[in-house]
Amino acid sequence: MKSDKGKIMRLLKTARGQLDGLIKMVEDDRYCIDISNQIMATQAILRNVNRQILDDHLECCVREAFEKGDARPKIEEILDIIDKLTK
């Protein structure tokens, strides 16, 4: 992985903390809208992390594959990810 690991780890740990908070909110029978807002905040962090990792993948791994003339497998990977993201 070519991403800034420190930044990625901080974001993932934040998301983990939010998930722990969500579990506590459910256990404590908190208000549904508050729980939903917390879920959306956690999803936003995970989308941000995924975007960063994919961006770095394109900049490094895919670019390198194009330079070596072996881009087709990387293109297929990206197309598979796009399919998953659009479902």
* pLDDT, mean of residues 47-68: 94
Task: Note the helical H segments in the chain.
Answer: 5-27, 32-57, 63-68, 72-85
Task: Return d(Cα 72, Cα 56) in angstroms, integer.
Answer: 18
- Give the model's pLDDT for residue 9: 96
Under the banding of pLDDT at 50, 70 and 90, the label for residue 2 is: confident
Average pLDDT, the chain: 95
- Give the model's pLDDT for residue 3: 79
* pTM of the shown model: 0.85
Instruction: Let me know: does 48 contact 18? Beta carbons within 8 Å.
Output: no
Domains and CATH numbers, the chain: 5-85 (1.20.58.1000)
- Give the model's pLDDT for residue 40: 98
* pLDDT, mean of residues 25-49: 98
